[in-house]
């Protein structure tokens, strides 16, 4: 497989910049805060970062409404700060991916302002417009009445996010432009230019937002969007062979095999393998059998592992935190499984200490139910749990008010903590190439009504029992690592074991 070699042993840490560490006391996390915490990331065992969008934005959708793709949002610092973050991260052996939002801009982006003018100009066709003020875009949300232009424009997500035009798979209306229209090409070139800019300054690649929806009217297999990505990525790879791309796609058969991304997230979609592993009412890690997870995963893995990597996530900025679904030892066992599967795993900041999902927080910057997963990182006991020197009411979001809110400093001192488990499992992953992205994978035991899951990675055998009862594994040997009890082949309640040969 022709993917950047560093991905083999990569473990990503996702950072929501507003909430990680505030270096200047204004209550909002920033780039220099991330720089200060790089040793923490390294110590944890993560060697790559994904930063959610850190670009100039009105922040109506947490920065996914970009106003200037080449400018760091002033509240996070300067471009120089970000360049320095790239350099310092590299010195520690940490790669940095930025978040690319190619499908839409903010309604305040100068391209969109120009596009909405009545007179035709260079940007007129750079977004998806109809040709009459009350004619909508069938099957897609649209907005009228906002601009001098006689037409309505298509939305990708919120009202503030007009869809950029990459052309239509099949042109059926006079206002649609074909894939080879000059404006569609200009949009694509503009995104390539954005990527070149950051890659040229030391960034290591991109997480790509809503990567599967660029071409409108695409077929079921997303053939046209896939073809677009394949061409674009391969152009950039010729210039930046070590750069990596992870898709927000959730369908590896398309994202890896056809669109040619290096990685694709196993997203939480109702009933899919990840959902049935971690988050559904009957999830495997809650103590049920692993069949639904294993079936879906093996199907995607089997079809795509020669082409790229599936990325398991502990969670992300769009999902409730994993601690909402799993608790205590279940989390430890869950992480042991997630971090010893093939592909490239992603850990969402704070999940390493089991930060809580703060369900009742009012929405912030378009977060709605996602807001409760975006609260400040909990560094240590004391004011603002060590996140910021600002007054508590000046924080971007409140810190977890619970008296027992977990913190990194306390867990660092406690050998029985979740943080210690995460570090131990990630250290094993770095030590044994068999456990890494490319290591072979085979399911040895997954049966209906049975919580035991046994799998082989190269020469290592791993067994999981997330249930409350002990199970017979039939396995023998001295554990290289274990959570819970493993004695005479019997795996105790909520336990995990890794054996050699």
Find the binder of ligand GLC among 157, 198, 274, 379 (CB under 6 A): 157
Site stretch for ligand GLC (CB under 6 A), options 58-66, 75-83, 422-430, 471-479: 58-66
Nearest distance from C-beta of residue 26 to Ca ion, angstroms: 4
Please identify, using beta-carbon distances, which residue of 158 and 240 lies nearer to ligand GLC.
158
Between strands 205-208 and 244-247, the pairing is: parallel
Give the position of tokens 């943080």.
Answer: 419
| 260 interacts with ligand GLC by CB under 6 A | no
User: By Cβ distance, which residue is nearest to Ca ion?
Assistant: 30
Nearer to Ca ion, 80 or 359 (CB): 80
Q: Which two tokens stand for residue 249?
A: 């796609």
Q: What are the structure tokens assigned to 295, written together?
A: 């079936």
Q: Work out whether the CA dihedral 267, 58, 157, 260 comes out positive or negative.
A: negative
What is the rounded CA–CA span in Å between residue 271 and residue 277? Answer: 9
The residue among 208 and 498 lying less far from ligand GLC, judged by its C-beta, is: 208
Which is closer to ligand GLC, CB of 101 or CB of 437? 101
- x/- mask, ligand GLC, residues 381-420, rule CB under 6 A, reads ----------------------------------------
Among 13, 16, 50, 64, binds ligand GLC (CB under 6 A): 64
24 touches, from Ca ion, ligand GLC, none (C-beta below 5 to 8 Å by class): Ca ion
101 interacts with ligand GLC by CB under 6 A: yes
Q: Does 296 bind Ca ion (CB under 5 A)?
A: no
Question: CA–CA separation, 21 vs 18, rounded Å?
Answer: 8
Stretch that binds Ca ion, among 23-31, 44-52, 102-110, 124-132 (CB under 5 A): 23-31
Binding status of residue 211 toward ligand GLC by CB under 6 A:
no
From the list Ca ion, ligand GLC, none, partner contacted by residue 97 (C-beta under 5 to 8 A by kind) = none
Instruction: List all residues 6 or more positions away from 333 whose beta carbon is below 8 Å from its beta carbon.
Output: 285, 464, 465, 466, 483, 484, 494, 495, 496
Q: Are 334 and 279 in contact (CB under 8 A)?
A: no
Q: Both tokens of residue 149?
A: 């232009």
**CA trace torsion 442, 447, 451, 456 (10° rounding):** -10
Q: Which of residues 28-87 bind Ca ion (CB under 5 A)?
A: 28, 30
For residue 372, report the phi and psi dihedrals to the nearest 5 degrees.
-65, -10
Q: What is the DSSP string of 12-64?
A: EEEE-GGGS--SSSSSS--HHHHHHTHHHHHHHT--EEEEPP-EE---SSTT-
Q: How far is the CB of 29 from ligand GLC (least distance, A)?
A: 16
Token pair 């977890």 in the structure block, residue: 400
Does the protein bind ligand GLC through residue 318 (CB under 6 A)?
yes
Pick 286 or 374: Cβ nearer ligand GLC: 374
Interaction between residue 24 and Ca ion (CB under 5 A): yes
Looking at the Cβ atoms of 188 and 317, the one nearer to ligand GLC is 317
Residues 6+ apart with CB under 8 A from 307: 1, 256, 257, 260
Contact between 394 and Ca ion by CB under 5 A: the answer reads no
Q: How far is the CB of 446 from ligand GLC (least distance, A)?
A: 31
244: Cβ contacts below 8 Å, ≥ 6 apart: 3, 4, 6, 7, 10, 95, 97, 204, 205, 262, 263
The rounded distance, in Å, linking the Cα atoms of 11 and 77 is 26
Q: Is 399 helix (H, G, I), strand (E, B) or coil?
A: coil
Identify what 64 binds: Ca ion, ligand GLC, none; CB under 5 to 8 Å per kind: ligand GLC
Task: Name the residues that contact ligand GLC, by CB under 6 A.
Answer: 61-62, 64, 101, 157, 209-210, 248, 317-318
Task: Name the residues that contact Ca ion, by CB under 5 A.
Answer: 22, 24, 26, 28, 30
């Amino acid at each position: 497989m022709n993917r950047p070699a560093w991905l083999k042993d990569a473990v990503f840490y996702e950072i929501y910049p507003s909430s990680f560490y505030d270096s200047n006391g204004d209550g909002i996390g920033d780039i220099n805060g991330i720089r200060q915490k790089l040793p923490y990331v390294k110590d944890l065992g993560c060697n790559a970062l994904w930063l959610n969008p850190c670009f100039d934005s009105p922040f109506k959708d947490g920065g996914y409404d970009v106003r200037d793709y080449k400018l760091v949002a002033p509240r996070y610092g300067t471009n120089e700060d970000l360049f320095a973050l790239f350099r310092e991260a590299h010195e520690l052996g940490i790669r940095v991916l930025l978040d690319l939002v190619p499908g839409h801009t903010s309604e305040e982006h100068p391209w969109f302002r120009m596009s909405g003018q009545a007179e035709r100009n260079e940007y007129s066709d750079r977004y998806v417009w109809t040709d009459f003020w009350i004619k909508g875009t069938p099957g897609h949300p649209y907005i009228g009445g906002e601009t001098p232009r006689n037409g309505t424009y298509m939305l990708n997500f919120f009202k503030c996010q007009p869809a950029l035009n990459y052309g239509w798979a099949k042109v059926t209306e006079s206002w649609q432009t074909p894939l080879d229209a000059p404006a569609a090409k200009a949009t694509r070139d503009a995104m390539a230019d954005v990527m070149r800019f950051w890659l040229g300054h030391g960034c290591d690649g991109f997480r790509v937002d809503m990567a599967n929806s660029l071409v409108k009217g695409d077929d079921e297999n997303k053939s046209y969007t896939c073809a677009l990505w394949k061409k674009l990525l391969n152009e950039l790879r010729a210039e930046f062979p070590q750069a990596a791309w992870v898709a927000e796609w959730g369908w590896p058969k398309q994202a890896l095999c056809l669109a040619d991304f290096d990685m694709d997230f196993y997203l939480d979609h109702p009933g899919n393998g990840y959902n049935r592993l971690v988050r559904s009412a009957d999830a495997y890690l809650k103590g049920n059998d692993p069949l639904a997870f294993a079936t879906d995963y093996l199907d995607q893995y089997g079809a795509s592992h020669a082409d790229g990597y599936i990325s398991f996530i502990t969670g992300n900025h769009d999902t409730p935190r994993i601690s909402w679904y799993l608790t205590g030892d279940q989390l430890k066992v869950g992480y042991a499984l997630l971090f010893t599967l093939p592909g490239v795993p992603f850990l969402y900041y704070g999940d390493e200490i089991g930060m809580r999902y703060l369900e009742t927080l009012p929405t912030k910057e378009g977060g709605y139910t996602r807001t409760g997963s975006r609260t400040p990182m909990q560094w240590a006991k004391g004011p603002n749990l060590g996140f910021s020197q600002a007054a508590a009411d000046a924080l971007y979001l409140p810190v977890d008010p619970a008296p027992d809110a977990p913190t990194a400093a306390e867990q660092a001192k406690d050998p029985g903590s979740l943080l210690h488990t995460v570090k131990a499992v990630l250290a094993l992953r770095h030590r044994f190439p068999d456990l890494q992205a490319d290591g072979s994978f085979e399911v040895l035991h997954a049966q209906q009504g049975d919580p035991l899951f046994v799998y082989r990675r190269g020469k290592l055998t791993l067994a999981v029992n997330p249930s409350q009862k002990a199970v017979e594994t039939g396995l023998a040997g001295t554990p290289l690592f274990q959570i819970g009890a493993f004695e005479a082949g019997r795996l105790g309640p909520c336990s995990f074991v890794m054996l050699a040969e």
